Amino acid sequence: MKQQAVEAVVGPVVEQCGLEVDRIEIASAGKRSVLRIYLDGDGPEGRGPSLDEIAEATRALSVALDESDATGNAPYTLEVSSRGVSRPLTEPKHYRRNIGRLVALTLADGRVTGRITGADADGIDLDVDGAPRRIDLTDITKAVVQAELRKDVPGDESADEPDDEE
């Protein structure tokens, strides 16, 4: 299976689905290959592709790859997913799609953690412990979204209610 041949088939199909290819990985798994395609895009809320969009793209990719000779005659497994929350933010669109999320940034002069409140082509606006801060994208050497577990909201009585009423 050749990377360029796969990319030539995958790119137009993904674009037709209104998404973007983040990356393509081909790995050997015994006599089979595993073809992993990671997708990105704005999605319905501007925060990345929805599960429905990924599912639609997966069906279209499966058909297109089966009809092409890009994968050769060897058996393969197709895996399609979003780019994932653990992937570093590297482009302005990545920051825009993560507005409202907590990020850890490595800068030339240290590290900072804050919540993205805005983003444009030149930089991002962060809330750092309640204080606004503007950071130019050129000053960021690494940026990763921080996973947050949901905390119970004070006064939310639904947490005390049983799931099944008998």
At 85-132, the pLDDT tens digits run: 888 999 999 999 999 999 999 998 999 999 999 999 999 999 999 999
For residue 72, give the DSSP letter.
-
What 3-state class would DSSP assign to 1?
A: coil
Q: Are 126 and 107 in contact (CB under 8 A)?
A: no
Q: Which burial class, exposed, middle or buried, applies to 64 when counting CB atoms under 10 A from its CB (0-12, 13-18, 19+)?
A: middle
Rounded mean pLDDT of 126-153?
Answer: 89
At 28-39, the pLDDT tens digits run: 888 899 999 999
Q: What is the pTM of this model?
A: 0.75
Report the DSSP pairing between strands 131-136 and 32-40. unpaired
Place of tokens 């499966």: 62
Report the DSSP pairing between strands 102-107 and 110-119. antiparallel
Rounded CA-CA distance 128/1 in Å is 47
Shortest CA distance to 146 belongs to which of 110, 109, 112, 118? 112
Instruction: Categorize the per-residue pLDDT at 158 as very low, low, confident or very high, splitting at 50, 70 and 90.
Output: very low
At 66-89, the pLDDT tens digits run: 999 988 878 999 999 998 888 899
Instruction: Categorize the per-residue pLDDT at 149 as very low, low, confident or very high, splitting at 50, 70 and 90.
Output: confident
Residue 166 has pLDDT above 70, yes or no: no
The CA-CA-CA angle for residues 40, 44, 48, to 5°, reads 25
Report the DSSP pairing between strands 76-82 and 32-40. parallel
Instruction: Categorize the per-residue pLDDT at 133 as very low, low, confident or very high, splitting at 50, 70 and 90.
Output: very high
Write down the pLDDT at residue 29: 83
Which domains does the chain show, CATH number per domain?
3-82 (3.30.300.70), 92-145 (2.30.30.100)
For residue 85, give the DSSP letter.
T
Rounded mean pLDDT of 140-160?
Answer: 70
